[in-house]
């Protein structure tokens, strides 16, 4: 079953309302259409039918804009799976040979205005092309590692900032960066993820690339050599989603199977062993999966039927099967008492789930109140986070959790050793002030990241290595804007 928002997009495309499906106004400029398309593709990348519908909506809307049909009443019925192959209908110019003089004059005026508009667009395109050449770009997705951050730009390139001692920024050096730098040699990327000390990217062709720490083989290139620039994970294709654990990496293939590699000391790879792997291995018994997530040393999967499964380290009950006696789960087990889930996330030693009704549930380590149930008691089965409704996005950090409500507000709870929010410990969610219109969040070990609808990125928390991206190493408990990342597509 598709999430409600995904089904809504399919319905809008099928009924000829591509601008509503992409969330843009009729007649929106191409850059805005591209930005909205990429952001939604990143969000629903685990649902191929939705991605195809979004591709069709983009093509149809661009055709409408080119043909001048982008008014409020315009419709364009699109067959999602074939839209990319359907050529635009030729535009027929009206003949003015036999038209009255006024009509001919009006036609000449409209022609002159069209030429002027085209010249303006050329100037704007050159200007924004120059801005992008200076390292600016519209951000469509963000991810957090242990003490670094990764951002996907609208042009398919990737930037990163923060700690770089293992090369996790991908810029060919081991130098920490307090402002974004471009990851070298990567293009046509559709998704990014962060591990503890490594980074991962998914390209449009379904291949997976990784860089940074490789002590346990988490880059998937068949070696255990750290990499300062991206290398391709071996033997893996048709991937639709990626996720990172601390020292392991997870991939979801289009056929619904899950693959993992890297550290396997506590069975987080789910292959029935505790042997580290430097190339991908298939997780046992997992099929029909639509989303994946990684904790420090455990892994989570969401199946199409809305059930959640987990495996790996279970000291604090983060597997969710009502036990903590068996610290290691060699193969996936179903999380108890939880159904109709639409999204999942992993913290260090806790797990979070977002149900389709907009409520948030959590389980595992609760020493820092990161489960949000008003206590500091570990839970081996899901408990509902207090006061959270109408939630659309979630993320897990070390001892804190972040959620986004449909109104674009951000809420946080857990322990605040490094100024993740204004108080020491917050056992129930509290709203982050001065932050609105947020569409996605990510959480690192001790910092948090928010992506706003306008394509800007904001961060708060610990900043020891520049992971907030504001050009300093000063801790922040109020969100600050990441430098050098502006919405150049507006």
Q: What is the pLDDT of residues 388-403, one digit of tens each?
A: 999 999 999 999 999 9
* DSSP 8-class letter at 358: S
> Would you tell me how many other CB atoms lie within 10 Å of the CB of residue 72?
8
CA-nearest of 180, 186, 189, 212 to 141 is 189
pLDDT score recorded for residue 113:
64
- Torsions phi, psi for 106 (to 5 deg): -65, -40
pLDDT score recorded for residue 167:
98
C-alpha dihedral sign at 19, 56, 252, 358: positive
Low-confidence ranges of the chain (pLDDT < 70): 1, 30-31, 34-35, 38-39, 41-43, 45-48, 59, 62-137, 417-424, 486-490
pLDDT score recorded for residue 10:
82
Residues 7 and 443: their CA atoms lie apart, in Å, by: 28
Work out whether strand 158-162 and strand 177-182 pair parallel, antiparallel, or are unpaired: antiparallel
Residues 218 and 9: their CA atoms lie apart, in Å, by: 35
Q: Which domains does the chain have, with CATH numbers?
A: 4-85 (no CATH), 139-481 (2.130.10.30)
pTM: 0.74
Angle CA 200–201–203, to nearest 5: 155
Residues 454 and 446: their CA atoms lie apart, in Å, by: 25
pLDDT score recorded for residue 272:
96
3-class DSSP assignment, residue 162: strand
Residue-by-residue DSSP string for 296-346 = SSEEEEEETTS-EEEEEE-TTSTT-SS--SS-EEEEEEEPTT--SEEEEEE
217: left (phi over 0), alpha (psi -120 to 50) or beta: left
């Amino acid at each position: 079953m598709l999430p409600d928002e995904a089904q809504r997009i399919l319905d809008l495309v099928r009924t000829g309302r591509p601008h509503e499906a992409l969330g843009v106004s009729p007649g929106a400029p191409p850059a805005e259409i591209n930005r909205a398309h990429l952001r939604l593709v990143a969000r629903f990348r685990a649902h191929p039918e939705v991605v195809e519908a979004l591709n069709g909506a983009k093509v149809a809307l661009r055709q409408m804009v080119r043909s001048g049909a982008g008014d409020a009443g315009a419709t364009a019925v699109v067959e999602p799976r074939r839209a990319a192959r359907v050529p635009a209908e030729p535009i027929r110019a009206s003949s003015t040979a036999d038209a009255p003089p006024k009509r001919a004059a009006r036609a000449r005026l409209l022609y002159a205005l069209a030429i002027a508009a085209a010249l303006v667009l050329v100037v704007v395109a050159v200007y924004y092309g120059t801005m992008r050449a200076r390292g600016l770009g519209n951000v469509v997705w963000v991810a957090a590692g242990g003490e670094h951050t990764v951002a996907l730009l609208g042009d398919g390139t990737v930037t990163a900032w923060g700690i770089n001692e293992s090369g996790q920024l991908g810029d060919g050096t081991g130098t920490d960066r307090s402002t974004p730098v471009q990851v070298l040699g990567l293009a046509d990327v559709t998704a990014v993820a962060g591990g503890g000390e490594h980074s991962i990217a998914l390209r449009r062709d379904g291949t997976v690339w990784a860089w940074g720490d490789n002590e346990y083989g988490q880059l998937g290139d068949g070696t255990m050599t750290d990499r300062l620039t991206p290398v391709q994970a071996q033997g893996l294709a048709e991937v639709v989603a990626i996720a990172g654990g601390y020292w392991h990496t997870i991939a979801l293939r289009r056929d619904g199977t899950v693959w993992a590699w890297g550290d396997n000391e506590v069975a987080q790879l789910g292959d029935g062993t505790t042997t580290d792997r430097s190339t991908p291995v298939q997780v046992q018994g997992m099929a029909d999966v639509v989303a994946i997530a990684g904790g420090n040393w455990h892994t989570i999967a969401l199946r199409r039927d809305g059930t959640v499964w987990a495996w790996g380290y279970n000291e604090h009950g983060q597997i969710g099967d009502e036990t903590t006696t068996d610290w290691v789960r060699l193969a996936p087990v179903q999380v108890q008492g939880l159904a109709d889930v639409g999204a999942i996330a992993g913290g260090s030693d806790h797990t979070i789930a977002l149900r389709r009704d907009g409520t948030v549930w959590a389980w595992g380590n609760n020493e820092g109140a990161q489960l949000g149930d008003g206590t500091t008691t570990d839970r081996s089965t899901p408990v509902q986070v207090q006061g959270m409704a109408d939630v659309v996005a979630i993320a897990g950090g070390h001892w804190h959790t972040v959620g986004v409500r449909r109104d674009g507000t951000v809420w946080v709870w857990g322990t605040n050793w490094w100024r993740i929010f204004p108080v020491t410990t917050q056992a129930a969610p509290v709203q982050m002030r001065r932050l609105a219109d947020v569409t996605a969040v990510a959480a690192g070990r001790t910092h948090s990241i928010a992506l706003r609808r306008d394509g800007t990125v904001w961060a708060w928390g610990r900043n020891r290595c520049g992971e907030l991206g504001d050009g300093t190493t000063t801790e922040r408990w109020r969100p600050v804007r990441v430098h050098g990342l502006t919405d150049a597509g507006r």
